[in-house]
Amino acid sequence: MERRKFLKGAVVGGTAAVAASGLSAPAIAQGKMEWRMVTSWPVNLPGPGTSAAWLADRITKMSEGKLTVKVFGAGQLAPAAGVFDAVSQGAAEMYHSVPTYWRGKSAGIVLFGNMPFGLTASEQHAWMLHGGGQALYDEMYGRFGLKGFLCGNTGNQWMGWFKKEIKSVEDFKGLRFRSPGLGGEMYRRMGASVVQLPGGEIYPALQSGTIDAAEFIGPWTDLALGFHQAAKFYYWPGVQEPASAEECVINKAKWDGLSDELKLVIETACAATYAYSTSEYIVRNPPALKTLVEKNGVQVRQAPQDVLVAAGNAAGEIMSELRQDKDDLVRKIADAYVTFREGALENARYTELGMMQARTLPYKFGG
């Protein structure tokens, strides 16, 4: 699969963004509406791009055409890093991205997407639906005139692509590493020189030597973007993102103007897309990894234990600081996250963790 197929239309920087005043209004005829979904991805990029397309299609079909959603790739109406502002300011009705990208707006936002050594994909959704996370999400995004729902998750990501082997935590010192959000902050505290880049700009930066390493998602998406052509060492586990939630975020005024029926359509479609997206990564990643290793010579490596311990300590420091943040709402979100994580960890000890360990024992299964 050629990398450039998924990069067409991606923007380098924000110069391709269209000002709000220059965007034509969505079509409205006979009680029907057309909304624009701006995204942080090239159109149909395997993973987040295809998830955005699936969500838009579900909203359109479930509403029986009362609300048609048209997807725009990064750079077509707004740059990858500009979709938050585009929707907040009313330049588009909705966006598809990840909370990880909005640390500059508030560190509290990132916790709705991921936290190093934090919640898994299923735990993240459980917190949002049943643990009070959605109410906190609404309170935070309300500050920016937005209404959001989680609508997908990558599951546990990989640590990333490295041009050289990582033998100890010392190898992170001075490493020019693309890693966003709180994961990037974790690696910075380990000595890395952290770089922020949209997904479409990672490959050329790796290839040119502007950066030494990068993490994005996992085998399925990373293969499509061609990272293996610029770096051959692929490390796991991705402790910087035990899961990374995708989000569908809507301009609050537009949301408030919808009928209860259409609000329910969007909420239900987002929940369905979360399940669809998360399960698709589970299916697509194994064959993609096989292609990377067997056909492209990628060398899979487990991160050394001292790297993981250093990362855990750095992540713990970050969470402690969030719980002491000057913003009351950030503190409230962080406290709620930690409390939920404690319960989830206790539950996992007797369920998923125990079962996963049992599955690795030396016995025959159907062979």
Q: What is the CATH number of the domain that holds 104?
A: 3.40.190.170
φ/ψ of 231, rounded to 5, equals: -150, 140
Residue type, 43: V
194 and 184 Cβ atoms separated by less than 8 Å: yes
DSSP assignment letter at 38: E
Angle, nearest 10°, between helix axes 48-62 and 260-296? 150
Within a domain: 182: no
Tokens (6 digits) for 189: 């505290």
- Distances 256 to 79, 93, 144, 298 between C-alpha atoms, Å: 26, 12, 14, 49
Is 31 a domain residue?
A: yes
Q: Is 221 helix (H, G, I), strand (E, B) or coil?
A: helix
| Residue 46 maps to a domain | yes
Q: CB neighbours of 122 closer than 8 A, spacing ≥ 6?
A: 278
Between CA 116 and CA 302 the distance in angstroms is 17
Query: CA-CA distances (angstroms) from residue 167 to 39, 177, 225, 236, 271?
Result: 37, 16, 26, 13, 41
Among 169, 181, 235, 224, residue whose Cα is nearest residue 200 = 224
For residues 295 and 289, give the distance between their C-alpha atoms in angstroms, rounded to a whole number.
10
Instruction: Give the number of other Cβ atoms within 10 Å of residue 70's Cβ.
Output: 16
In angstroms, the CA 161 to CA 215 distance is 6
Regions of the chain short of the pLDDT cut 70: 1-29
Of 188, 194, 217, 214, nearest to 202 by C-alpha is 214
Domain contains 324: no
Beta bridge partners of 94: 37, 250
Parent domain of 126: 3-154+242-283
The pLDDT assigned to 31 comes to 79
**Does residue 93 sit within a domain?**
yes
The pairing of strands 245-251 and 146-153 is antiparallel
Alpha helices in the chain (DSSP H): 3-7, 48-62, 83-88, 107-110, 121-130, 133-142, 181-189, 202-208, 219-225, 252-256, 260-296, 305-322, 328-350, 352-359
d(CA 218, CA 47): 9
Q: How many domains does the chain have?
A: 1
Residue 119 lies in a domain: yes
At residue 367, the pLDDT reads: 80
Report d(CA 9, CA 188) in Å as an integer.
Answer: 31
In a domain, residue 161? The reply is no
In a domain, 35, yes or no: yes
251 — phi, psi (to 5°)?
-60, 125
What six digits make up the tokens of 253? 């005024």
DSSP tag of 18: P
The reply to whether omega before 42 is within 30° of 0 (cis) is: no
pLDDT for 1: 42
